[in-house]
Amino acid sequence: MTHTGKHRVKHQMQRRARRLVGAIAALALIAPTPDGAQAQSQQARADSVFANFTATTPGASVVVVRQGEVVFRAGYGMANLDHGLRITPETVFDIASVSKQFGGFAISSLVESGAIDLDAPVSQYLPELPDFGAPLTVRHLVHHISGIRDWPITLAIAGWRFDDVISFDQILRMTWHQKELNFPPGDEYSYSNTGYNLLAEIVQRMTGESFATWTHDNIFGPLGMTNTHFQDDHTLVVPLRAQGYNAAAGGAWAVSPNGLTAFGSSSLHSSVDDMARWLINFDTRTVGGPAVIDRMHTHGVLNSGDTIAYAYGLNGVTWRGLQMWTHSGSWAGNRTVITHFPEVRSGVVILANSGVYDPTPAAQEMAEIFLGDLLGPDTRSPAPTPDARPAPDPAPELSPMELRQYEGDWVSEELDTHYVLSVLDGVLVADHYRHGRTTLTPRAPDRFMGSQFFLQPVRFERDAEGNVTDMFIGEGRARNLRFVRSR
């Protein structure tokens, strides 16, 4: 797109946003007053759902929308344990991967305006992306079927810790150095935060605006989401923000630092009051319009023709006889979930600051309490008792002499990092300058499992003469990162 074209798109979006500002008054969140006895019963049942959150624990905030109106909003537990600050519906959380639906909205909007072609090669918009030898399109990124490696695992293998500062630019630079895909684009579904970061970068380049500015001008401002923003500077003060926590030894809580700025995939800060406005907009379609919102609910399709649940930052499933669109998130001690039932214009949002809490069951309970009469019958069967798993093959027992064939300084050009493998006291260990020492335990021939998640698994390949030549780390979302022995 030319420079003039970028500005044309930008001004079209701005004009549309200004026209919509007046219409957003209809989204004022005014909760109706239910019958007194019913309200007391619902309040008591809701309180019981969150009873484990107290004045000495992290907690959660929750909002329930019923047929377009907020019918319940509350906060439980503490936003900040250091200062004794309670959680309220106005408390701001890092909503983690629930952020992806805003990246999906941005892409859908620019597709609608003609600025982006879903089936165009990603390299058309991001020429820094390597040529992987297979067509990789914007559509592949949207549905997590691209094969692009997921940065949380890749950066961990490279030596990063999740409490490091992890910037958007660093994530992009890592992606520009990726050597191969996990699989041919379209062959599989494999969740990739990196893919949604690339989508955000496409938005920035095609609009000439930062992703934070574009989303503010085209989503948060028009919807009146005054406490919502994409974090583009981890040092900024965020009013009303909840601190994220994880469990520590002895029943204590530990602060979870948050230095992430990952546009598109993560790093959106918001409150349940603001997220209620977003949820309601899925039904009113005041911001974005029908075509943009409908596209956001388009399932991905694999090369095999199979349809997957994932759409544009939303998973489409059936629950209690209704279509439900949902997404959860987890980062830096924050756990979040949003559910939406378009057939009854209702939904639930829960934002929590406890890294050991799963909000999804609570969201289902809140739906039962406040939306039960709108839901279909509960036809779910009890979870079957799992069959006893067959015993795994016994792990090979390797002598120190056999283990020494894996020793050496193993280097990854792609990640610009290395691990030194050596045999100590009859055990193979891997030393990294940031991670320290990790034990590698044999699991199968030429295959080991590390005592840390980012070294699971480690496998080796041999040449025709049987000599160990290459080491590969990773599986799942980040596969086959290649290391070669430098000595």
> 18-25 contacts: CB < 8 A, separation 24 or more?
20/222, 20/286, 20/287, 21/221, 21/222, 23/286, 24/222, 24/223, 24/224, 24/286, 24/287
Does this chain's domain 3-147+182-374 share its CATH topology with 400-485? no
Q: Which residues contact 203 (CB under 8 A, 6 or more apart)?
A: 103, 106, 107, 110, 211, 214, 264
Alpha carbon distance 217, 71 (integer Å): 28
| Location of structure tokens 């938005």 | 203
Alpha carbon distance 482, 419 (integer Å): 12
Alpha carbon distance 349, 277 (integer Å): 11
Q: Sketch the domain layout of the chain as residue ranges.
A: 3-147+182-374, 400-485
CATH among 1.20.950.20, 3.40.50.970, 2.40.128.50, 3.90.1150.10 for 400-485: 2.40.128.50
pTM: 0.91
* Ordered per-residue pLDDT tens for the chain, 487 residues: 544 444 444 444 444 444 444 333 333 344 445 678 888 999 999 999 999 999 999 999 999 999 999 999 999 999 999 999 999 999 999 999 999 999 999 999 999 999 999 999 999 999 999 999 999 999 999 999 999 999 999 999 999 999 999 999 999 999 999 999 999 999 999 999 999 999 999 999 999 999 999 999 999 999 999 999 999 999 999 999 999 999 999 999 999 999 999 999 999 999 999 999 999 999 999 999 999 999 999 999 999 999 999 999 999 999 999 999 999 999 999 999 999 999 999 999 999 999 999 999 999 999 999 999 999 988 766 767 777 777 777 889 999 999 999 999 999 999 999 999 999 999 999 999 999 999 999 999 999 999 998 999 999 999 999 999 999 999 999 999 999 999 7
Decide: 161 and 139 in contact? Cβ < 8 Å: no
| Location of structure tokens 């109706």 | 32
**DSSP assignment of 181-207:** -SSSTTS-----HHHHHHHHHHHHHHH
For domain 3-147+182-374, the CATH superfamily is DD-peptidase/beta-lactamase superfamily (3.40.710.10)
Radius of gyration of the chain (CA): 24
